[in-house]
Structure 1
Amino acid sequence: TFYSDRERGVPFFANFPDENLVSYFEKSLFIPGKVLELGCGPGRNAIYFAEKGCTVDAVDLSQESLKWAEERANEKSVSVNFIN
Structure 2
Amino acid sequence: MLPVLLNTQIKYALACLIAGVIISTSLNAQLQANFRVDKTGGCTPLTVNFTNTSTGNISGAMYRWDFGNGNTSTLPNPAAIFI
Same fold (TM > 0.5): no
Q: TM-score, normalised by structure 2?
A: 0.31
Which of structures 1 and 2 has the bigger CA Rg? 2
Looking at secondary structure, tell me which structure has more strand per residue. 2
More helix by share: 1
TM-score by length of 1: 0.31
